[in-house]
A and B are shown apart, each in its own frame.
Chain A
Amino acid sequence: MNPVKFRGGRVPALFGALAVVAALSASAQAQPANANLGRNLAAQCANCHGTNGRSVTSVPSLAGQDAKDIVARMKEFRDGKVPKATIMHQLAKGYTDEQVALMAEFFSKQAE
C-alpha cells in the first residue's frame, strides 16, 4: 500500500481540506511498523541488483524505476507470466504484496 498521492487539479476548498485529512489518515494506516522497513526489505535485492538498486552489471537497476512498474513486474514473476524467468519467479513468491510495495516505493525514490 502506497500513501495516497495528490496530483494537481482544482478542487473546492472544503472538499480539498477533507481530502487532505482523509489522505493523511490513509497514509498513517499505510505506515509500516518500522519506518525503515522498505529500505531494509529492498536491501535484500542489492546482491544482484546493486546497492540501493544501482546495478554495476547488465542485471537491471531498480533505482529510479516507477514503483507501479516494479510492483507489476514482481506480480508477473510471481504468477509465472515471465517466460524466461530463471530465479525471480521463485524469489518473488517469498514476499507479500505489502512488502513488494514498500520495496518498490524505496527503489522509486533512489537516484538512477
Chain B
Amino acid sequence: MSTTFNRRDFVKSAGALGLLGTSAITGCASVGGVAKPRVVVVGGGFGGATAAKYIAMWSDGKIDVTLVERGDAFVSCPLSNLVIGGSKQMADVTVSYDGLGKRGIRRVKGEAVGFDADKKTLSLADGTTLSYDRLILSPGIDFMYESLPGLASADARQKVLAAWKAGPETVALRNQLTAMKDGGVYAIHIPKAPYRCPPGPYERACQVAWYFQQAKPKSKVLILDANEDVVSKKGLFMKAWNGQYKGIVEYRNNQEIQDVDARTNTLKMSFGDDVKADVLNLLPPMRAGNIATQNGLNNSNKRWCLIDWLTYESTAVKNVHILGDALQIAPLMPKSGHMANQHAKVCAAAVVAQLTGEAVNTTPMVANTCYSFIDNRNVVHVASVHRYDAAQKTMVTVPGSGGLSAEANTAEGGFANSWARNIWADMLA
C-alpha cells in the first residue's frame, strides 16, 4: 500500500468513520491481520488465467489474486479451427473458470477499461474499482479497423468475419461455410506479420479444404497472403496444398488490400483485380488489446507493448505487467497461446518474488510448441526454446534447439489433443 498516513492516523480516521474492522476502507484482503499483497489480472486467456493460477499456487495463498474476465467460460483459439472444419464442436474447446475459484482466486466478470497508475486502481466498464499492488494485463489483440473503412459498421463485420477470437464468430464462420453452395469459393486474407498465431490462417485453410473435400468437392479455398511468403511451417503446409488438397487450395503471396466491400464480399486489392468470394474471411491488421492501447502501454510502433523480460513489467508504466499476444515479441518468438502461458509463469515467479521480498530470477527460459492440424487427424508442429540474454536484455533462441515435424502424422494428432487438455488444465484447473 502506498498510503502515507501512519497506523495511528488510520485507526483514528477509520474509527471516526465507524469502519474499523471492515476491509472496505483499504480493500485489504484480510481483516485484523497483516494485509495480503493484491494482484489483479485482466484477461482469462492463456496468459492471464495462467498468471492468476501460478501466483495463487506459488505464493501459497500469501497473495490475494483477482481475475477480471468478460466471458463466462474460456474458449480456446487453438483447436477452434477444427470447429470451422467440422471435426470438433464448440463444447470441445470451451473450459469452465470454476477451477480457479477452488484455488482461492476471486473472479470478477466485467470489462476492464482503464487504470490509475498513481492510486493503483483498475476501473471496469460498470464503474467497479479494484485496488492492486501489481496489475497484470493479458489483453490479447484487437483489430486496426481504422485501416479498413469497409468494416466500419458492425453489420459489415458480421458479414465479413475475422473469427480470430474463438467464440460466436467461430460458429458464424462455420455456418457460412455449411450454407455455401458446392462450387463456391472461400477466401481468407492474412495481414502482414506480426499477427496472432502465425500458422493459424494456414491451418484454417487446411481445415476448410478438408471440409470441402468431404462435403463440397467442387469448392475452392483461396489464400490471399499480404506477406511475401508463407509465414510459418511453409514446407509442411505447401506439401498439403500441393498434395492432399491439390486442386482445392490456391495460395497467393504479396496480396495487400486497400479495403473491402462487405455487401458484395469483395476485396479491393492494392495491385490487380478485385477478388470476390462466396465466404470472405478477413483478418484485419492487429495490435495490442484495447486496454493496453487506450492507456499508453503500446509503446512499440503504437501497436505492441514493450516490457522488461525478467518481470514482464511495462516499460511505460510501473507496477503494470503485460503478457501474451499484446507484447512486442522478441526475435523468433511467436504470438501463441503456448507462449503466453510461458510468459505468465515467468511473470508469476517475478511478481511473487517482488511482493514477498525475494530475488527475481535473472535467468528465465520459455519454450514454444505449436501444433497445426492438416486435416482431422494429421498434425505438424514447430517448437523453439528461448533464454534471457542479459547483454541484449531480450529473449533469444537457444542455438540448435527447436524445429519442425518431418511430415504430418497421426501420432502428433494425438499429442496435439493431449497438449490442449494439459495446457487448459495448467491454466484453469
Assess whether A58 is in contact with B418, with CB atoms less than 8 Å apart. Answer: yes
User: Per a CB cutoff under 8 Å, which of A34, A43, A51 touches B363?
Assistant: A34
Tell me which of B129-137, B267-275, B287-295, B402-410 binds A: B402-410
Assess whether B361 is in contact with A87, with CB atoms less than 8 Å apart. Answer: no
Give the nearest-CB partner of B421 in chain A: A57
Closest CB-CB distance, B412 to chain A, in whole Å? 5
Bound Cα distance from A49 to B363, whole angstroms: 22
Q: Which residues on B sit within 8 Å (CB–CB) of A46?
A: 345, 422-423, 426
Q: Does B364 contact A (CB under 8 A)?
A: yes
Assess whether B401 is in contact with A36, with CB atoms less than 8 Å apart. Answer: no
Assess whether B426 is in contact with A51, with CB atoms less than 8 Å apart. Answer: yes
Residues 342-379 of B at the A interface (beta carbon under 8 Å): 342, 345-346, 349, 353, 358-367, 369
Which 3 residue pairs of A and B lie closest in terms of their CB atoms, listed nearest first? A94-B385, A94-B401, A57-B418
Assess whether A86 is in contact with B405, with CB atoms less than 8 Å apart. Answer: yes
Bound Cα distance from A77 to B356, whole angstroms: 38
Assess whether A44 is in contact with B349, with CB atoms less than 8 Å apart. Answer: no
Assess whether B363 is in contact with A50, with CB atoms less than 8 Å apart. Answer: no
Assess whether B342 is in contact with A47, with CB atoms less than 8 Å apart. Answer: yes
Closest CB-CB distance, A94 to chain B, in whole Å? 3
Q: A51-B426, A51-B429, A59-B415 are in contact. Are A40 and B401 (CB under 8 A)?
A: no
Closest CB-CB distance, A45 to chain B, in whole Å? 8
Q: Which residues on A sit within 8 Å (CB–CB) of B152?
A: none
Q: Does B341 contact A (CB under 8 A)?
A: yes
Q: A40-B346, A86-B411, A91-B369 are in contact. Are A51 and B361 (CB under 8 A)?
A: no
Closest CB-CB distance, A44 to chain B, in whole Å? 5
Q: Which residues on B sit within 8 Å (CB–CB) of A31?
A: none
Closest CB-CB distance, A77 to chain B, in whole Å? 11
Bound Cα distance from A35 to B359, whole angstroms: 9
- Cross-chain pairs A/B with CB under 8 angstroms, 16 sampled: A34-B360, A36-B358, A40-B361, A44-B342, A44-B345, A47-B338, A47-B419, A50-B426, A51-B429, A56-B422, A86-B381, A87-B412, A93-B385, A93-B402, A94-B387, A99-B365
Q: Which residues on A sit within 8 Å (CB–CB) of B422?
A: 46-50, 55-57, 59
Q: Does A90 contact B (CB under 8 A)?
A: yes
Q: Does A71 contact B (CB under 8 A)?
A: no
Q: A56-B422, A86-B412 are in contact. Are A34 and B359 (CB under 8 A)?
A: yes
Q: Which residues on A sit within 8 Å (CB–CB) of B419?
A: 47-48, 59
Known: A47-B423, A50-B426. 8 other contacts (CB 8 A): A37-B363, A44-B366, A44-B367, A46-B423, A47-B341, A59-B418, A91-B402, A94-B401
Assess whether A36 is in contact with B349, with CB atoms less than 8 Å apart. Answer: yes
Residues of A within 8 A of B (CB): 33-37, 39-41, 43-44, 46-51, 55-59, 84, 86-87, 90-91, 93-95, 99
Give the nearest-CB partner of A89 in chain B: B403
Residues of B within 8 A of A (CB): 53-54, 57-58, 338, 341-342, 345-346, 349, 353, 358-367, 369, 381, 383-385, 387, 398, 400-403, 405, 409, 411-412, 414-415, 417-419, 421-423, 425-426, 429
Closest CB-CB distance, B62 to chain A, in whole Å? 14
Q: Which residues on A sit within 8 Å (CB–CB) of B398?
A: 93-95
Q: Which residues on B sit within 8 Å (CB–CB) of A91?
A: 367, 369, 383, 385, 401-402
Q: Which residues on B sit within 8 Å (CB–CB) of A33?
A: 362-363
Bound Cα distance from A86 to B400, whole angstroms: 16
Give the nearest-CB partner of B360 in chain A: A34
User: Per a CB cutoff under 8 Å, which of A40, A51, A56, A87 touches B349?
Assistant: A40
Assess whether B338 is in contact with A40, with CB atoms less than 8 Å apart. Answer: no
Bound Cα distance from A95 to B399, whole angstroms: 10
Q: Which residues on B sit within 8 Å (CB–CB) of A57?
A: 417-418, 421-422
Give the nearest-CB partner of A50 in chain B: B422
Q: Which residues on A sit within 8 Å (CB–CB) of B412?
A: 86-87
Closest CB-CB distance, B346 to chain A, in whole Å? 7
Give the nearest-CB partner of B411 in chain A: A86
User: Per a CB cutoff under 8 Å, which of A43, A90, A99 touches B383?
Assistant: A90
Assess whether B425 is in contact with A51, with CB atoms less than 8 Å apart. Answer: yes
Q: A48-B369, A57-B422 are in contact. Are A43 and B401 (CB under 8 A)?
A: no
Closest CB-CB distance, A91 to chain B, in whole Å? 6
Bound Cα distance from A59 to B345, whole angstroms: 21
Q: Which residues on B sit within 8 Å (CB–CB) of A51?
A: 53, 57, 425-426, 429
Q: Which residues on B sit within 8 Å (CB–CB) of A50?
A: 422, 425-426
Q: Which residues on A sit within 8 Å (CB–CB) of B421?
A: 56-57
